[in-house]
DNA sequence: CAGGTTAGCACC
DNA sequence: AAACGGTGCTAACCTG
């Protein structure tokens, strides 16, 4: 057995590294004498839990002054004892539990279901204390960032530097070192052991910092994380032959368009500098600028030029689009699919400042919605249909409730068309459903939720600034209490530096952007409506059918013969009353692919 | 040259 | 008086 002795925050700490089976007796004594609570972490070959090459290497247990590192990669007794320890310790502390619990599930066969009820996740606590990432003025949520702020900056840098140094020593990179490094490497085991010691210390520091209002969110967020983690484990079935064909078709499209652009003298369509060079040579003046003052070459400009007959601009648009669709979507799906053709998107249930979720790996929140091509890559299970259940005008209904605006509440209660109301307040009572004035009303309704004004509306709709102002005023006239509520909220944000949502969540408000307070509370409350719905669906045993949450929507795969009934049932479970406003969910039943819900957009 | 930043584009 | 909120990913570009 190897023992590292070092100091954290001025205190002596010991990290014991199990090397032979003889060391396991002492390890199990450590577990037995700390059976109430320990922090846990694992080291693995990478982050691709569901790939066939993925392996677990080390598992670490520890408290504030002592850690044990077990080389589970060796299997046998090392693996057995770790499984026993995971199941035996009564409370487990982890930093980003969803990751390690999926690792244990996949590699050791310890089901997540066994462990979630006894987990405390320091990352969840950190987010409830301050949801901002480093770049937005927060302290970050990674173990290193949290250690730097709450424990000791030097230790944080040392730990971070350890793997960097190791990668350098071995002639590798930080991303690749994890699978290569020797299991008993001293830097590696020191790093591994330090992680659990720091996690234990973090829990102590973070617990008292969770605001009193947010305390009730602690359990709730662990449960949301749990349900999301099950969805990730299930994965989404990929139509591999279709995806491969689509990838080829897109590649062909991209190359054909890029060839045309090349013949105009543009070597790379993705380089704004290159594209500008060609446009400039043809006498096109670009007036719009990027934030750093360079000519702005975007889709808006290129489409305008294409519409005026520019073959070059059209080619650039086509090549860029085909390239993005292939590289960002289709090829990523094919690459990440496991041996059973399933894609496991990774869901971060608590991501944004507002607590909105984010989905990475397969960026499922951002697949093109105007064309079914990309979403057709994903399939319901054999014999199943895709079902989507989404909240109707979720954020506007949340706004109606929060602001208490009588007109808005009444409009929703009577089933009236909110976009029409805004349009009529601006343009007069003659506006009808199909009119373009109603579309402008819709843009204004959303812009108001986002904190946008007349300039934004003008740009988005193409109408002039004066008319845009008129419609924005129309909104304020139609729903006067929204403005009152917004300014009260701004004041609160400026006074306290944060606002508190109805669930008790603190959302920091930047003094230079106090107008964003309204959007924050609406977005965050809407997120909690969907998150709470996930918990009710889990309670109702729907989880095995869930595929993904997408903001105001939940996506499922359900047996085809029961699809209509299931969609109705899920909608019923999701629908909820908020004061005088009903947050109504509506189910849609599709065919075998996700894309089937996006075909032949009518109207 | 790895890793960070910028620009652009996909969504709610 | 006005104020566009939140995300992820890629290629190109920049920097230590």
Tens digits of residue pLDDT in A140-174: 899 988 999 999 888 888 887 887 888 878 777 77
Which CATH number, 3.90.1170.40, 1.20.1060.10, 3.10.20.30, 3.30.479.10, labels domain A238-342? 1.20.1060.10
| CA atom of A146 to C1′ atom of C16, Å | 25
Return d(Cα A538, Cα A533) in angstroms, integer. 9
Contact A558, A385 (CB under 8 A): yes
| CA atom of A454 to C1′ atom of C2, Å | 9
Dihedral of alpha carbons A309, A313, A317, A322, sign: positive
Return d(Cα A520, Cα A399) in angstroms, integer. 11
Q: Residue A217 burial (CB < 10 Å; 0-12/13-18/19+)?
A: buried
Strand C positions closer than 7 A to protein CB: 2-13
pLDDT digits (tens, 9 = 90+) for A433-480: 889 899 999 999 999 998 889 999 998 888 999 999 999 999 999 999
Give me the A residues in range 97-156 that sit within 7 A (CB) of strand B. Answer: 135
Return d(Cα A187, Cα A442) in angstroms, integer. 58
Residue nearest to nucleotide C9 (CA to C1'): A328
Considering the domain A345-394+525-602 in this protein, what is its CATH number?
Answer: 3.30.70.370
Which CATH number, 3.90.1720.10, 3.30.559.10, 3.30.420.10, 3.30.750.210, labels domain A2-210? 3.30.420.10
A269 touches strand B (CB under 7 A): no
Closest nucleotide C1' to the C-alpha of A276: B7
Contact A401, A580 (CB under 8 A): yes
Q: What is the pTM of this model?
A: 0.95
Break chain A into its structural domains and give their ranges: 2-210, 238-342, 345-394+525-602, 396-523
Q: Which two tokens stand for residue A185?
A: 């490497």
Residue nearest to nucleotide C2 (CA to C1'): A453
pLDDT digits (tens, 9 = 90+) for A175-212: 778 888 899 999 899 999 999 999 999 999 999 999 99
| CA atom of A232 to C1′ atom of C11, Å | 29
Q: CB under 8 Å to A19, separation ≥6 — which residues?
A: A1, A2, A71, A184
- The percent of residues in chain A predicted with pLDDT above 70, rounded, is 99
Conformational region of residue A598, where left means phi above 0, alpha means psi within -120 to 50, and beta covers everything else: alpha
Q: How many CA atoms lie within 13 A of A33 on its CB side?
A: 8
In angstroms, the first-to-last Cα distance of chain A is 72
| CA atom of A525 to C1′ atom of C4, Å | 19
Contact A540, A573 (CB under 8 A): yes
Residue nearest to nucleotide B11 (CA to C1'): A366
Q: How high is the pLDDT of residue A56?
A: 96
| CA atom of A272 to C1′ atom of B5, Å | 16
Q: How high is the pLDDT of residue A602?
A: 40
| CA atom of A529 to C1′ atom of B1, Å | 46
| CA atom of A514 to C1′ atom of C3, Å | 9
Considering the domain A396-523 in this protein, what is its CATH number?
Answer: 1.10.150.20
SS3 A540: coil
For residues A528-567, b (16+ Cβ closer than 10 Å) or e, as one string?
Answer: bbbbbbbeebbeeebbebbbbbbbbbbbbbbebeebeebb
pLDDT digits (tens, 9 = 90+) for A278-299: 999 988 888 888 888 888 898 8
Closest nucleotide C1' to the C-alpha of A522: C5
The dihedral over CA atoms of A329, A330, A332, A338, expressed in degrees to the nearest 10, equals 130
């Amino acid at each position: 057995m190897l023992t590292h002795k070092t100091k954290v925050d001025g205190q002596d700490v010991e990290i014991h590294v199990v090397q032979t089976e003889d060391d396991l007796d002492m390890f199990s004594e450590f577990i037995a004498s700390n059976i109430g609570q320990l922090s846990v972490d694992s080291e693995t070959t990478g982050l691709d839990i569901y790939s066939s090459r993925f392996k677990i290497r080390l598992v670490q247990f520890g408290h504030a002054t002592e850690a044990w590192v077990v080389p589970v990669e060796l299997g046998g007794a090392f693996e057995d004892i770790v499984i026993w320890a995971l199941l035996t310790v009564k409370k487990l502390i982890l930093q980003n539990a969803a990751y390690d619990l999926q690792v244990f599930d996949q590699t050791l066969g310890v089901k997540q279901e066994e462990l979630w009820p006894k987990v405390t996740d320091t990352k969840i606590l950190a987010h409830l204390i301050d949801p901002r990432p480093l770049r937005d003025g927060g302290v970050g949520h990674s173990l290193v960032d949290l250690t730097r702020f709450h424990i000791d900056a030097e230790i944080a840098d040392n730990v971070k530097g350890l793997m960097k140094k190791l990668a350098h020593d071995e002639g590798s990179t930080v991303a690749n070192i994890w699978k290569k490094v020797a299991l008993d490497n001293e830097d590696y085991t020191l790093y591994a052991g330090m992680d659990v010691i720091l996690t234990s210390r973090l829990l102590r520091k973070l617990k008292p910092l969770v605001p009193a209002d947010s305390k009730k969110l602690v359990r709730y967020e662990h449960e949301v994380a749990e349900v999301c983690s099950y969805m990730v484990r299930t994965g989404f079935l990929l139509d591999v032959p279709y995806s491969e064909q689509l990838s080829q078709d897109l590649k062909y499209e991209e190359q054909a368009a890029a060839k045309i652009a090349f013949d105009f003298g543009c070597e790379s369509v993705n380089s704004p500098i290159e594209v500008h060079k060609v446009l400039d040579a043809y006498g096109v003046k670009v007036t719009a600028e990027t934030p750093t003052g360079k000519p702005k070459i975007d889709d808006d400009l290129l489409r305008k030029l294409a519409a005026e007959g520019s073959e070059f601009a059209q080619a650039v648009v086509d090549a860029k689009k085909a390239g993005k669709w292939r590289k960002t979507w289709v090829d990523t799906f094919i690459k990440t699919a496991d041996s059973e053709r399933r894609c496991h998107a990774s869901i971060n249930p608590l991501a944004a400042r507002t607590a909105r979720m984010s989905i990475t790996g397969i960026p499922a929140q951002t697949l093109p919605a105007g064309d079914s091509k990309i979403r057709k890559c994903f399939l319901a299970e054999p014999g199943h249909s895709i079902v989507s259940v989404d909240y109707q005008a979720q954020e506007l209904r949340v706004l109606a409730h929060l602001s208490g605006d009588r007109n808005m509440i009444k409009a929703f209660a009577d089933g009236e068309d909110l976009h029409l109301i805004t349009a009529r307040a601006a343009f007069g009572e003659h506006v009808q459903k199909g009119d373009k004035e109603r579309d402008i009303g819709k843009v204004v309704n959303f812009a108001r939720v986002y904190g946008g004004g007349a300039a934004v509306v003008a740009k988005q709709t193409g109408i002039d600034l004066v008319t845009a102002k008129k419609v924005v005023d129309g909104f304020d006239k139609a729903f006067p209490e929204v403005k009152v509520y917004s300014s009260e909220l701004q004041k609160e944000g400026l006074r306290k530096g944060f606002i508190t949502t109805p669930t008790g969540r603190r959302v920091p408000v930047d003094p230079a952007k106090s107008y964003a307070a309204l959007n924050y509370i609406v977005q965050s409350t809407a997120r909690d409506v969907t998150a709470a719905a996930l918990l009710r669906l889990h309670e109702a045993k729907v989880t095995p059918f869930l595929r993904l949450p997408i903001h105001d929507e939940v996506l499922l795969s359900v047996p085809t013969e029961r699809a209509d009934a299931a969609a109705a049932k899920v909608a019923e479970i999701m629908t909820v009353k908020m004061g005088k406003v009903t947050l109504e969910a509506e189910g849609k039943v599709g065919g075998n692919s996700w894309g089937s819900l996006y075909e032949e957009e009518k109207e």
